[in-house]
Structure 1
Amino acid sequence: MIAQAVLAAALSIPLATAQLARAVVQTTAFNSSFSFSHAQIQDAQLDGALVETLQNIVNYDRSQLAFGGPSEDDFYRVPPLASTKNVKPGQLLKVQAFTDPTAYAIPPSTALSRFLYTTTTLNGTLIPASAFILWPYTPHQFPSGSGPHKRNPNPSGSAKGKVPAVLWTHGTSGFSSFWGPSAHRALWYEHAAPFALAEAGYAVVAPDYAGLGVATSWDGSHIPHQYSAAPAAAHDALYSMRAALAAFPANLGSNFVVLGHSQGGATAWAVAETLAREKVAFADLLPGYRGTVAASPPTDVFRAPAFFILPTVGQALQSIFPTFRLSEWLTPLGEARARLALQVEGGITAVQQLYFGRNDTYWPDWDTASWYAAAFARLSAVGRREFAGPLLVVQGTADLYIPFDATNKTVADTQKLFPKSDLEFLVAAGVGHVPVLHATRQFWLRWIETRLAGEPLVRKGPFRTDLQSVMPIEQHLLVGNSFPLWGGLPEYQYELPLGL
């Protein structure tokens, strides 16, 4: 009774001075009213149903931006430099130690920081990029053990109180500056990875990738997002980790594990290969590196459906091969829809609607008509190379985007080439692309914990683990059907009972 009286008194305090906000209906397009022009509709040959569908998608995507997104948020303006002559990759350019979390749909008791830093394109050009850090309420607590595998009581690699880090590399969001996850209210992957990691007590260091977030370089030139160029994204990730350590020396632990999914799964795998290949360049980070988790990694980018991969890879290919023209892969209709996607900064969902299932948007001989596809495949592929281990590859057998047989073959080939390497393969039967992160969460969280705790691998060398669902697979929810909805204004707070 006493507890109930105290609670009732506490609840009455705000009511004594102010009334609760009026509840207002919220739509997913509440802060956007985009519509296509007649010229855009004609040029891209959109019928009425597709116009409506795409406008709904673009309006929804724009409603998910914090602070109006990179085009309106001054954070993404790069500070001027007198000269880039002495500037090195991984150099810190700007720090926003406190990013107002009320503009985001992140979990309660987490905190957000953002920063700008220097990275390089696939061709080695120095450019600025953006990243975020999602902070936990308290650092992960590593339980002490006994015997030969007793855990390090201070495994984060730093002084007491520092937070152990996970370098998170995200999957495909979009193809222009609009699509930096640091500007997305739910950081793009929400509970699938970054929220889960922060709530487990890790600092989530997350690059947007070059061209996502920051739009222009110091000289005003456009920064391309070199989509699916995994080695370039790997540099983005490693340089973001270097800059994060410089930005938060008192908070961030020096030991880290890499976790990535889809495009980011290939990026994460490429990080492991980069650390094996470029030991001198990353000598400062190597002592803290504890391993990589690569989930649903596209090890051969052109195994993805041609109608999707050709316009998306093709958009940035000229920044890698200056003589490439999009018309070598796409038909006039395909090019027109690529122009439209670029004009409205359409992300992965909009591009899928523009191209899904259409074989009239690309030439049937695109892969043999020129040398660009083979050249980019060699540049972008991961696997079958030496890597800094240990490496855990996670894949669902029902993945519609990354064929299981492609990942399975790459893993098998890599294990054969490097039989003494610590390469683990975790297979989830009947599970799809993003849901594999949910299905296997307890396994990769435990794997990350044991790596950061300094525990040796239980089994050395390559091995495979197969998981089966507890209930018949058709009884499980196979694809996500809900999302975090920002309710930061008082009139929307009725959607968040008791601030949950």
Structure 2
Amino acid sequence: MKSFVYISAGFLSLVSSTEAYRPSRPNDLDFTQAQAEAHNCGLVCQQNLRQYEVLDRQVFGDVPFDYEFYETAANFSHSRPGDMLKLRQQNASAYDIPPGTSLWTMQYTSVGVNGTNVPATAFIALPYTKVPEHKTPLVAYAHGTIGVVSACAASSSYNGFDYHSWQLLTGPGYAVVATDYAGLGNNYTSHKYGNPVLNSEDTYFSVVAARKAFPGAFTDKWAAVGHSQGAGTVWGLSENPRVVSKESGDYLGGVSIAPSSRLNDILTAVPLNVGWGFGNEVVNIFQALKFPIQPIVLTPEALKRYPLMYELQLCDTSQAELNADLPNHGIVDFTPSITQHNHEAYIAFQNKYGAATGRKGYKELLVIQAIDDEVINVNATKAAYEDACKIGNIVHLSLYPGLDHDSSVAASSPEWLEWLDNKFTGVATRDSHKCVMETRSVLLDTSR
């Protein structure tokens, strides 16, 4: 029987795996034919769900969902943002993570809509060794889209939802704190998907809490790396005035890879009727916030199925295919009037919760963008870069030819890992105080 170290509000106890875990995950829940049909999900829809739920579960592997850990901590109501509420060491041998890495899961207090406190969860990955007489450099990692319901917590995945991403950091000796974002894992509040402003709060306070979890272990300096949804988060973090305070330490800047920073620009560059799988998630963006303007995205038939995403706790793959059997994946016919209405909703959201929309950037930002990215269009990122630079923010944009959305993280790692090293060691880099956009060359161009 394996055991886990569990720390809550300053006391230490041992919790056996049989006590900590239930034998299934929320997104393992089966459904009845009657339940599906009540939501306009017929036989073909049900077959699709069963097929794609299998793919969802592969993202999480054989690691059971720790229901007790993700429950809201008893001491949450009296906590302050950045407080560490729960800390649990995991059996690293049960996970597919770099050898020698120790893995911890943490619940902490973050900030949500209108400044209210919300619980959030994260994992902390510590490298095997450190440089003698030196503290370990800390990087906050913000992951890409995994889902919008509570079952979809990166910290509950067998590899921390790594796709050649955060694990690139532990080898060079960085400690990683990776937020799930509020609403993923813990269900106290709904997840505010694709929201650079609110997601940046979760990232910021994960660092404050990680320092309380491991006092004196990390360097005062810290940085952030994010991909896709997380890249928008890191861009939002650079514009979050909290980073100039010393509560979290000395924030050096961030790396934003394929940033989902400005919703209207992204959906204008790649319309929803092309990227079908994002229909439910776009609806979630607005419904989770009870936003004053709700866009018209899904057909009435698809809207009847929308609650199944929550009832069955569908994560990214299965929710994306929930409407696969419907014409145009359940996306409405964008008439001129609907297009105008949606534009107003997207712009309103973008201005309030997006990044690179006129806010001051407090720290330097390195943006990585694949020219052939099929999810985040290069022109949307260029527009965000240009607008940020116009108001004096320091952004470096590196364009990579021949890469898609997911491959851009690992393929560009030599650049962004060197950038991080320079930041932590204080090495001055060329053009560090001005905006620069460059296209990177390929070592071996096989397209010729």
- Does TM, scored on the shorter chain, surpass 0.5? yes
Q: State the alpha-carbon separation in 1 of the partners of residues 258 and 446 from structure 2.
A: 19
Residue 307 of structure 2 aligns to a residue whose secondary structure is helix
Q: Is 2:190 the partner of 1:195?
A: no
Q: Is 2:257 the partner of 1:295?
A: yes
Amino acid at match of 2:70: Y
How has the CA–CA distance of structure 1 residues 32 and 103 changed in structure 2, closer, same or farther, with 3 Å as cutoff?
farther
Amino acid at match of 1:95: L
Contact 2:369–2:378, Cα closer than 8 Å, also in 1: yes
Q: Is 2:326 the partner of 1:335?
A: no
Q: Is 2:416 the partner of 1:448?
A: no
| 1:56 shift after superposition | 2.6
Structure 2: 5+ residue stretches without partners: 1-23
| 1:317 shift after superposition | 2.6
Residue 62 of structure 1 aligns to a residue whose secondary structure is helix
Q: State the alpha-carbon separation in 1 of the partners of residues 213 and 136 from structure 2.
A: 14
How has the CA–CA distance of structure 1 residues 189 and 473 changed in structure 2, closer, same or farther, with 3 Å as cutoff?
farther
User: Deviation digits for residues 383-402 of structure 1, max 9, x if unmatched?
Assistant: 14321222100000010100
| 1:99 shift after superposition | 1.3
Counterpart position of 2:190: 224
How has the CA–CA distance of structure 1 residues 269 and 32 changed in structure 2, closer, same or farther, with 3 Å as cutoff?
closer
Q: State the alpha-carbon separation in 2 of the partners of residues 92 and 30 from structure 1.
A: 25
| 1:361 shift after superposition | 3.4
How has the CA–CA distance of structure 1 residues 41 and 331 changed in structure 2, closer, same or farther, with 3 Å as cutoff?
same
Counterpart position of 2:139: 166
Amino acid at match of 1:183: S
Counterpart position of 1:14: none
Amino acid at match of 2:47: E
Q: State the alpha-carbon separation in 2 of the partners of residues 127 and 173 from structure 1.
A: 20
Counterpart position of 1:15: none
Q: Is 2:399 the partner of 1:404?
A: no
Counterpart position of 1:236: 202
How has the CA–CA distance of structure 1 residues 324 and 37 changed in structure 2, closer, same or farther, with 3 Å as cutoff?
farther
Contact 2:256–2:367, Cα closer than 8 Å, also in 1: yes
| 1:50 shift after superposition | 4.8
User: What does 1:378-397 align with in structure 2 at a 5 Å threshold?
Assistant: 378-383=351-356, 384-397=358-371
User: Deviation digits for residues 311-348 of structure 1, max 9, x if unmatched?
Assistant: 2132253442366668x543221212211222221122
Which of the numbers 46, 49, 73 marks the counterpart of 1:51? 46
User: Deviation digits for residues 368-411 of structure 1, max 9, x if unmatched?
Assistant: 34754332121222114321222100000010100001101211
How has the CA–CA distance of structure 1 residues 253 and 228 changed in structure 2, closer, same or farther, with 3 Å as cutoff?
same
Residue 358 of structure 1 aligns to a residue whose secondary structure is helix
Counterpart position of 2:246: 283
How has the CA–CA distance of structure 1 residues 250 and 417 changed in structure 2, closer, same or farther, with 3 Å as cutoff?
closer
| 1:77 shift after superposition | 2.2
Amino acid at match of 2:319: V
Q: Is 2:70 the partner of 1:76?
A: yes
Q: State the alpha-carbon separation in 2 of the partners of residues 32 and 407 from structure 1.
A: 34
TM-score by length of 2: 0.83
Amino acid at match of 1:51: Q
Counterpart position of 2:225: 259
Contact 2:194–2:285, Cα closer than 8 Å, also in 1: no
Q: Is 2:329 the partner of 1:362?
A: no
Counterpart position of 1:220: none
How has the CA–CA distance of structure 1 residues 363 and 376 changed in structure 2, closer, same or farther, with 3 Å as cutoff?
farther
Q: State the alpha-carbon separation in 2 of the partners of residues 261 and 137 from structure 1.
A: 25
Identity among equivalent pairs (%): 26
Counterpart position of 2:387: 413
Which of the numbers 124, 128, 131 marks the counterpart of 2:122? 131
How has the CA–CA distance of structure 1 residues 79 and 161 changed in structure 2, closer, same or farther, with 3 Å as cutoff?
same
User: Deviation digits for residues 283-318 of structure 1, max 9, x if unmatched?
Assistant: 323x51111100100232232443444421322534
Q: Is 2:418 the partner of 1:422?
A: no
| 1:132 shift after superposition | 0.8
User: Deviation digits for residues 134-186 of structure 1, max 9, x if unmatched?
Assistant: 111113x5xxxxxxxxxxxx9xxxxx342101110111100111111110111
Counterpart position of 1:436: 408
Q: State the alpha-carbon separation in 2 of the partners of residues 66 and 387 from structure 1.
A: 41
User: What does 1:55-204 align with in structure 2 at a 5 Å threshold?
Assistant: 55-63=50-58, 64-65=60-61, 67-69=63-65, 72-81=66-75, 83-84=77-78, 87-96=79-88, 98-139=89-130, 160-190=133-163, 192-204=164-176
| 1:473 shift after superposition | 4.8
Q: State the alpha-carbon separation in 2 of the partners of residues 359 and 32 from structure 1.
A: 22
How has the CA–CA distance of structure 1 residues 324 and 437 changed in structure 2, closer, same or farther, with 3 Å as cutoff?
same
- The structure whose Rg is larger is 1
| 1:124 shift after superposition | 1.7
How has the CA–CA distance of structure 1 residues 164 and 40 changed in structure 2, closer, same or farther, with 3 Å as cutoff?
same
TM-score by length of 1: 0.75
| 1:33 shift after superposition | 7.0
Structure 1: 5+ residue stretches without partners: 1-28, 142-153, 155-159, 217-222, 476-500
Contact 1:293–1:393, Cα closer than 8 Å, also in 2: yes
Contact 1:34–1:55, Cα closer than 8 Å, also in 2: no
Contact 1:332–1:361, Cα closer than 8 Å, also in 2: no
Which of the numbers 308, 312, 327 marks the counterpart of 1:344? 312
